Amino acid sequence: MPVIAVPGWPRVRPGPYPGHRAAAPGLPCNGRELRGAGVVTGGSLLSGRNGGHAAGFEHELIEQMCAVSGLDAPGGRDLLIDMLAGRLPELANVRRHSRKRHDILEIFQACWRKPSGLSVLADTLQEYDPGSIPVLRIVELVSASPVLAVLPEAEIRRARSLLSRLPHPDPQGLLYAAAGDLPLPARPVATLQEAFDFLADANARPDGLLPVLVLVEHAIAAGAASGADRQVVDGLRSWNDEQGTRLDLVEPLETLRSQITRGVAEPAPACLVVQLSKHGMSPDEYLLSHWRQRRPGSWRPERGEDQIVALGEVEAAVEQLVESVEEDWGEHPGRPVLEFVLPLQLLNHPVEWLPMASHSSSATALCLDFPVALRSLERMRARRYHRRWRNRWQQMTAGPRILCHWDTTGERGHDPVRWNSTLAADERLVSVALNAPPLTGPEGRQETLEAALRAGVPLAVWDRRPAPPGDFRKRVDKLLKGTAAELPERVRQLRTEAATAAAAQRDAHSGRHLAVLLDNPNRMVDWSEHPASEPGSVRGGHNDEGTS
């Protein structure tokens, strides 16, 4: 069956961010005065260090509110206040006057003082008088408004000083996690201080949190996980708590802290995820689905159009997808990653060696350009194992090293019950190394991998050859030495060594045959409504008859 054509992908280019504008006349250029506790939401980023609203913002917004149909009557203003109080209960106590303009001034000032108040006001007015010219103008004003100066200079200096004492191997990753939809800097940041400075003029998120507070929260979690200076970590936590209390952001800050603790808010790289699942009656027919994460940041992959392919057509389909998504990735430097979500029966296929530019004499393998990882389709769909999976992922990402549970199948004295029990009882064991491929090796290897997946192990490695080489354990020990964050790049380097070795040594190199299943539970893509009850039982998003 021929590959179903993939339609051309539209380029998504965000329009100009309205917060990029000059400072208002008469405002200090550093924009660091404390002006109440108001924050304008909307995700804009100032192009300099210009604080405060553009001249006339308050005046025009109030004038437009006065022009909204219905607000000239006391009952209309009562209705607006009731609607606002549904989202901001404090506004139920807004002081009332007998004159329209005075009431509107009170409503505006009450919203101004709340971190997300102006956005709530704009949203509520869209419900109150949808499509009217004054309301459309209010929405435009609020969404285009630059950030207010909410952090005093002394607090800025204090945070920067603490961050300078907290070394981190990936400040760019923390910037991505905190930036959300903000435009990214043209050049990567080298320190947490630079990341802080870049975000210092950013508007609040929809939940009211300033991106600098989000950055500091990620830095706190990273510092605590890496064993950084306790005084520095505690100092940053106190700083964030103080800002959250002062800006009335305690609840969203606690929510963010919980998300980071669970790993949900961890930064994700630009990524292409390719999934193969069994389709139809033919044993060689698969549904190829894919998702693309267009830029680093929070995990928000976009699903593309599915294809029905035979195994022999996967190579061409993947090459076409990579060429397409490179159009999006080309706007920023960095190293995107490729992930293959595969059923058990396909995990031994060397997908990392699929070629790019396959019709050219200069064809190269995927793994030379991208870190490539395998993922388990069955476990992604088996929610009953996700708690253990998340627990071990958290253990792995927080630890200074990766503890491995070595397969003993086929060895003298092998006790499968003891091996499985040890793995289940010790969540510090976050990886397994199989001493034969899970499908083509001696009986028991597939069961070993399935047991590891059920236990929530996020990392599994094996050599795809029938018997591993003598230096297999040494190679794996070297690969697992260091943090989990660095593992994908270490794997890529090993495969690069294999690809660039002398011709006589190339095929024998361990990097040419090493399979790495690195499965992040916080990067879910498969929303199948047919979750498996056991790893190994699900064959895809469609059943054998091809119906969903």
Is the pLDDT score of 53 beyond 50?
no
* Mean of per-residue pLDDT scores for the chain: 81
Q: How, if at all, do strands 403-406 and 429-433 pair?
A: parallel
E-only strand ranges, 381-540 = 403-406, 429-433, 459-463, 514-518
Mean pLDDT of the region 281-307: 89
pLDDT in tens, 224-276: 877 789 999 999 999 999 999 988 889 999 999 988 877 666 778 899 999 99
Give dist(CA 312, CA 315) in Å, integer. 7
Is the pLDDT score of 4 beyond 70?
no
Give dist(CA 188, CA 149) in Å, integer. 25
Produce one character per residue of 293-330: b if its CB has 16 or more CB atoms within 10 Å, e if not. Answer: bbbbbbbebeebebbbbeeebbbebbbebbebbeebbe
pLDDT in tens, 130-183: 989 999 999 888 876 654 546 888 999 999 999 999 988 778 888 888 887 777
pLDDT-wise least confident of 54-68, 115-129, 161-175, 526-540: 526-540
pLDDT in tens, 297-333: 778 888 999 999 999 999 999 999 999 999 888 877 7
Say if residue 499 is exposed, middle or buried (CB neighbours under 10 Å; 0-12, 13-18, 19+): middle
| 442 compared with 52, residue with greater pLDDT | 442
| 3 compared with 470, residue with greater pLDDT | 470
SS3 219: helix
User: In the prediction, which pLDDT does 529 show?
Assistant: 42
Mean pLDDT of the region 114-134: 87
Is the pLDDT score of 463 beyond 80?
yes
Is the CB of residue 410 less than 8 Å from the CB of residue 466?
no
User: In the prediction, which pLDDT does 484 show?
Assistant: 87
pLDDT-wise least confident of 69-73, 337-341, 345-349, 523-527: 523-527
Percent of the chain with pLDDT over 70: 82
Look up residue 351 and give its two tokens: 């997908």
| 267 compared with 442, residue with greater pLDDT | 267
User: In the prediction, which pLDDT does 152 show?
Assistant: 84
Give dist(CA 278, CA 297) in Å, integer. 31
Give dist(CA 206, CA 19) in Å, integer. 15
pLDDT-wise least confident of 79-83, 224-228, 435-439, 469-473: 224-228
User: In the prediction, which pLDDT does 538 show?
Assistant: 36
Which positions ≥6 away from 400 have C-beta within 8 Å?
A: 226, 227, 483
Closest CA to 430 of 340, 518, 536, 489: 518
| Per-position DSSP letters for 86-150, written without gaps between them | TT-GGGGG----SSHHHHHHHHHHHHHTSTTHHHHHHHHHHHHSTT-HHHHHHHHHHHHPPPP--
SS3 460: strand
Give dist(CA 387, CA 522) in Å, integer. 11
Give dist(CA 481, CA 132) in Å, integer. 62
Say if residue 186 is exposed, middle or buried (CB neighbours under 10 Å; 0-12, 13-18, 19+): exposed
User: In the prediction, which pLDDT does 235 show?
Assistant: 96
pTM here?
A: 0.64
User: In the prediction, which pLDDT does 109 show?
Assistant: 81
Phi, psi of 53 (to 5 degrees): -80, 155
Phi, psi of 373 (to 5 degrees): -130, 150
Looking at residue 12, what DSSP letter applies? -
Mean pLDDT of the region 180-193: 82
User: In the prediction, which pLDDT does 89 show?
Assistant: 86
